[in-house]
Structure 1
Amino acid sequence: MISFRSFKERLNIYRRYPHWSHLNCIFVHVPKAAGTSVNKALYGRTLGHYSAAEIQRTFPNLYGRAFTFSLVRNPWDRVLSAYRFACVGRTDSMGVHKPEQYRIPEFESFERFLCEWLPKQDVEKLDYIFRPQWMFVCDDSGEVMVDHLGRVEALDETVDVLGQKLGKPILINNENSTGSPKRDFRNAYTRPEMVEVVRAIYLRDIELFGYEFERMSAST
């Protein structure tokens, strides 16, 4: 039996059509990858988290003619942001699903979260904020399904592409912040084991998008 949440999400995707169709531009929002800021800059509101495959399946004609794009983020940085978001429970823009499930001892520190909680989970079935990024932008074989795949770390490049495609300047503000001061995410990884946990769990993202803990791979 389909859950109420799944039914609501399915219904809501049809309400997104006018926004995507009006601009002839579809932004595939990977959670915790600057998507709230991009959505508000383009559409004036957030539009939820739908995979490229789901949007294509629901609106094949629109998907075939529209400009499609997405953003990915360094997995080590993204999972830290997701952890902080789960701990806070919500921001001014949106909330996490069932925040009470994260009020447990394993979430008392980032180290415990990574070493005790996350390895026991099936990340492909967790809340969107913890799911691998490839699930949103790739097909099952790992082929990217959007016309432009940018990086949060090089957001200006995507802004330039959007300006050219839409014929107008795009201003992206920093939305959906958890309120934590911006620091180098690497400082949160106090033990080598923490780095390797993320590598093991999000290996497909790391390999597909060419990320490394210290730097992006030379091939990207």
Structure 2
Amino acid sequence: MLISHEYQFIFIKTRKTAGTSIEIALSRYLGPMDVITPITPQDELIRAGMGITPRNYMYPAHTLPEPSEMNPEGMETMLNKLTIDRRFYNHCAAQDIRANVGEKIWQTYTKFCFERNPWDRVISEYRFMQKTKPEDYGQVTLEQFIELNLYSPNYFLYTIQDQPVCDYYGRFEFLQSDLASICQKIGIPYDGWLPNAKGASQSHRKSAGELMTPQMLDHIAERCLPEIDLFGYEQPIAA
């Protein structure tokens, strides 16, 4: 996720919607006081090549000593020891972001995210998990991945108390044009460059209708009904 104080926007990163590519592209416009959460080591190499690193996503805190250690030595120990807590994280949900930025920023900054056809997104997530965690998912079939609810809907990331909270929603299906449009509205001087981060996991030759049975398609339709209704996605037909 990203927070820009100069352009006053919050990018909520959803799953399998080219979020990492968007993060890398927009990180170029963020300053030293803005928030950039970490991504995978491989993808951080792309940002590192541009001199960009994660920043301001954690905060240091001191912990008071026990009552028996309330003395100069105890105070010195406290001051020399910091506890580092994570404030923001990669797929940080809207409610957590609001809690950490405060109501003023939350209400005044522009919030946006991207969503994707849930059937295609599930396939992408399945391929990604098989590739990155073969010890856990290597022997899991697509049918099991769906029936066991091993995939992650995005709806809760950009909603609070079941209400969508973003000002703009882009669609993965229209990634370049929607991102350009959102950036223009916010005032980000986006130049159209978008790296193909995690591209290998996003590509699959067969459609959801070819890979899924009617029962699998129905399962996703039921579990992802809120985002299907919100964006008007149509359920594929099994081949």
1:73 is aligned to 116
Q: Does 2:95 match 1:53?
A: yes
1:101 alignment partner, one of 121, 136, 143: 136
Give the C-alpha shift of residue 102 in structure 1: 1.8
Change (3 A) 1:201 1:84: same
2:142 alignment partner, one of 113, 127, 140: 113
Higher helix share: 1
Paired residue secondary structure (2:163): coil
Instruction: Tell me, in whole angstroms, the C-alpha distance in 1 between the residues paired with 2:137 and 2:7.
Output: 38
More displaced, 42-51 or 65-74?
42-51
Counterpart residue type for residue 35 of structure 1:
G
TM-score (normalizing by structure 2): 0.64
Q: 5+ unaligned residues in a row in structure 1: which ranges? A: 1-12, 90-97, 124-129, 216-220
- Asked if 1 retains the 8 angstrom alpha-carbon contact of 2:124 and 2:201, the reply is no
Q: Root-mean-square deviation (CA), in Å?
A: 2.6
Instruction: Tell me, in whole angstroms, the C-alpha distance in 2 between the residues paired with 1:62 and 1:169.
Output: 23
- Asked if 2 retains the 8 angstrom alpha-carbon contact of 1:189 and 1:195, the reply is no
Instruction: Tell me, in whole angstroms, the C-alpha distance in 1 between the residues paired with 2:110 and 2:202.
Output: 34
1:3 is aligned to none
Paired residue secondary structure (1:183): coil
Instruction: Tell me, in whole angstroms, the C-alpha distance in 2 between the residues paired with 1:99 and 1:86.
Output: 7
Higher strand share: 2
1:191 is aligned to 213
TM-score (normalizing by structure 1): 0.69
Counterpart residue type for residue 131 of structure 2:
V
Q: Does 2:179 match 1:158?
A: yes
Instruction: Tell me, in whole angstroms, the C-alpha distance in 1 between the residues paired with 2:231 and 2:134.
Output: 30
Counterpart residue type for residue 164 of structure 1:
K
2:125 is aligned to 82
Counterpart residue type for residue 184 of structure 2:
G
Bigger Rg over Cα: 2
Counterpart residue type for residue 120 of structure 2:
D
Counterpart residue type for residue 134 of structure 1:
Y
- Asked if 1 retains the 8 angstrom alpha-carbon contact of 2:146 and 2:220, the reply is no
More displaced, 75-84 or 149-158?
149-158
- Asked if 1 retains the 8 angstrom alpha-carbon contact of 2:7 and 2:188, the reply is no
Task: Summarize deviations over 1:116-174 as a string: whole Å, max 9, x none.
Answer: 343234x6xxxxxx32111101122x321111011111221232221232241342232
Counterpart residue type for residue 49 of structure 1:
H
Paired residue secondary structure (2:196): coil
